[in-house]
């Protein structure tokens, strides 16, 4: 049977879809493109925002237009949170929960259309095991899941309800899988998790994320290792110091701030205050002046006044950070924030989001221009467009140059020359350092 996958949400979801697809292939299924009239559509959902829920419905409708007789299966965070809601979507056949999604070919043998959608969903409190996952198919980069779940209780977030308690892969399994991926030709391993810095939870002993990084640096021959995201309160100075001495772990940090107002951070039940966040950014800069620092921020949280927003704007404007991932607050019905007073109207939320996105572009541009005429190493990717090929420097600057197939999946030393028409930096190859890997 032919099966196609559609993934919504985070890098963790993409790594898990890849793991699920390998199980199906081992069971004799054939993976095809979404538009290639599959017999089965498997949609891996997200539920961070209301938009993700709506998009799930839209994808189901698109799938059934391609093949009205196709079997439609839904899994992921939205499936765990609202399985009954999903069963009401016309055309859906089975909903798989968090505990079931890595055993789908094993637990389901009948792939015929259902008259009524079936729910195979275990209560999240019963989900305690770690299921390994990594993305495969892109030789350049692989997202390797090292941690799952979250013990935090942020008032806006449904992830603990969708993924359960924090748990971790063993360091031995992470190291072994990372090395196996490198031996398959992958050049960059991205460590992914719901709360990556919480790594070690659920394991025997005192293993920490710092220990994992040291183990990977020592035992894995990866040209590049990158951290997807880490909470500022879990980013210890010893981690930053170690990265500053490592040739493998990239000088790139992504830190969730969410708000620059201590009052809003308190309402969110975040585990730090803006002073702590500022100190952490300053600490990164003291060790790694050229590091890229991305920041997550939410606009329009209940109770956020213009004064609160300006605290956030001012803090981010003054901080030496590289770019912002701006999220417009979205009500999630089973979170404490849903019933909080002081709802911000949608137009104000969107207007604040746009102001921060403009600030992000200014900061990114200023950061990237600092490196004009400097030499950097770029890992080029297989995503040629308009006869150009692009890749990222160690500190996550996107560089675009004229296409050459020999560049793909190679780490090449270049001299950054300026800003191109694509909006990305341009460069010249340092021919003296242009050597291809075997």
pLDDT for 381-406, tens place per residue?
977 777 899 999 999 999 999 999 89
In this structure, the answer to whether residues 134 and 204 fall within a common structural domain is yes
pLDDT at 52: 66
pLDDT for 277-305, tens place per residue?
999 999 999 999 999 999 999 999 999 99
pLDDT at 105: 95
Which of 318, 352, 370 represents a domain boundary (last residue)?
370
Residue 31 lies in a domain: yes
Residue 80 lies in a domain: yes
- What is the spatial distance between Cα 151 and Cα 346, in angstroms, rounded to a whole number? 30
Residue 438 lies in a domain: no
In this structure, the answer to whether residues 142 and 211 fall within a common structural domain is yes
Q: What parts of the chain have a pLDDT lower than 70?
A: 49-50, 52, 431-438
Which of 340, 370, 400 represents a domain boundary (last residue)?
370
**Domains in the chain: how many in total?**
4
Residue 317 lies in a domain: yes
pLDDT at 433: 52
What's the CATH number where 30 sits? Answer: 3.40.50.12160
Residue with tokens 């209301």: 50
In this structure, the answer to whether residues 104 and 220 fall within a common structural domain is no
pLDDT at 422: 79
- What is the spatial distance between Cα 81 and Cα 338, in angstroms, rounded to a whole number? 15
pTM across the whole model:
0.93
Residue 43 lies in a domain: yes
Residue with tokens 């968090």: 98
What's the CATH number where 185 sits? Answer: 3.30.750.210
In this structure, the answer to whether residues 355 and 414 fall within a common structural domain is no
What's the CATH number where 410 sits? Answer: 2.40.50
In this structure, the answer to whether residues 295 and 387 fall within a common structural domain is no
pLDDT at 215: 98
In this structure, the answer to whether residues 314 and 236 fall within a common structural domain is no
In this structure, the answer to whether residues 6 and 101 fall within a common structural domain is yes
Residue 277 lies in a domain: no
- Domain holding 394, by residue range, is 375-433
Rama region for 196: left / alpha / beta (φ>0; ψ in -120 to 50; rest): alpha
Residue 278 lies in a domain: no
pLDDT at 387: 86
In this structure, the answer to whether residues 427 and 342 fall within a common structural domain is no
In this structure, the answer to whether residues 350 and 411 fall within a common structural domain is no
In this structure, the answer to whether residues 318 and 334 fall within a common structural domain is yes
Which of 370, 398, 418 represents a domain boundary (last residue)?
370
pLDDT at 55: 87
pLDDT at 48: 72
In this structure, the answer to whether residues 157 and 118 fall within a common structural domain is no
pLDDT at 139: 77
In this structure, the answer to whether residues 135 and 110 fall within a common structural domain is no
């Amino acid at each position: 049977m032919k099966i196609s996958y559609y993934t919504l949400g985070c890098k963790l979801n993409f790594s898990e879809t890849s793991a699920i697809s390998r199980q199906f292939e081992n069971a004799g299924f054939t993976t095809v493109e979404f538009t290639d009239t599959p017999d089965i559509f498997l949609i891996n959902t997200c539920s961070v925002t209301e938009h993700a829920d709506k998009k799930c419905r839209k994808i189901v409708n698109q799938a059934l237009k391609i093949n009205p007789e196709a079997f439609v299966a839904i899994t992921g965070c939205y499936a765990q949170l609202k399985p009954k809601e999903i069963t009401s979507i016309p055309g859906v056949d089975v909903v798989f929960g968090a505990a079931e999604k890595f055993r789908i070919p094993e637990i389901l043998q009948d792939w015929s259309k259902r008259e009524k959608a079936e729910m195979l969903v275990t209560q999240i409190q019963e989900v305690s095991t770690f299921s390994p996952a990594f993305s495969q198919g892109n030789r350049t980069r692989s997202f390797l899941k090292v941690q799952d779940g979250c013990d935090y209780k942020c008032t806006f977030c449904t992830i603990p309800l969708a993924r359960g308690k924090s748990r971790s892969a063993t360091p031995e399994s992470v190291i072994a899988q990372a090395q196996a991926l490198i031996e398959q030709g992958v050049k960059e391993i991205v460590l992914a998790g719901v709360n990556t810095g919480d790594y070690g939870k659920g394991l025997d002993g005192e293993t920490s994320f710092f220990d994992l990084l040291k183990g990977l640096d020592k035992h894995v021959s990866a040209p590049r290792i990158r951290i997807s995201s880490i909470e500022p309160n879990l980013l210890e100075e010893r981690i930053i110091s170690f990265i500053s001495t490592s040739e493998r772990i990239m000088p790139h940090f992504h830190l969730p701030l969410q708000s620059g107002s201590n009052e809003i951070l308190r309402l969110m039940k975040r585990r730090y205050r803006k002073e702590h966040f500022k100190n952490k950014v300053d600490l990164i800069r003291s060790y790694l002046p050229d590091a890229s620092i991305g920041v997550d921020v939410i606009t329009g949280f209940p109770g956020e006044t213009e004064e609160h927003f300006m605290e956030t704007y001012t803090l981010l404007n003054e901080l030496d950070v590289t770019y912002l991932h701006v999220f417009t607050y979205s009500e999630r019905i089973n979170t404490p924030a849903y019933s909080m007073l002081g709802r911000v109207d949608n137009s104000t939320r969107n207007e604040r989001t746009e102001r921060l996105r403009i600030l992000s572009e200014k900061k990114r541009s200023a950061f990237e221009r600092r490196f004009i005429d400097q030499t950097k190493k770029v890992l080029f990717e297989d995503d040629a467009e308009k006869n150009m090929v692009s890749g990222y420097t160690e500190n996550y600057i996107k560089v675009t140059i004229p296409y050459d197939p020999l560049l793909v999946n190679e780490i090449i030393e270049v001299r950054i020359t300026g800003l191109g028409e694509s909006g990305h930096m341009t460069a010249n190859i340092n021919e003296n350092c242009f050597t291809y890997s075997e």
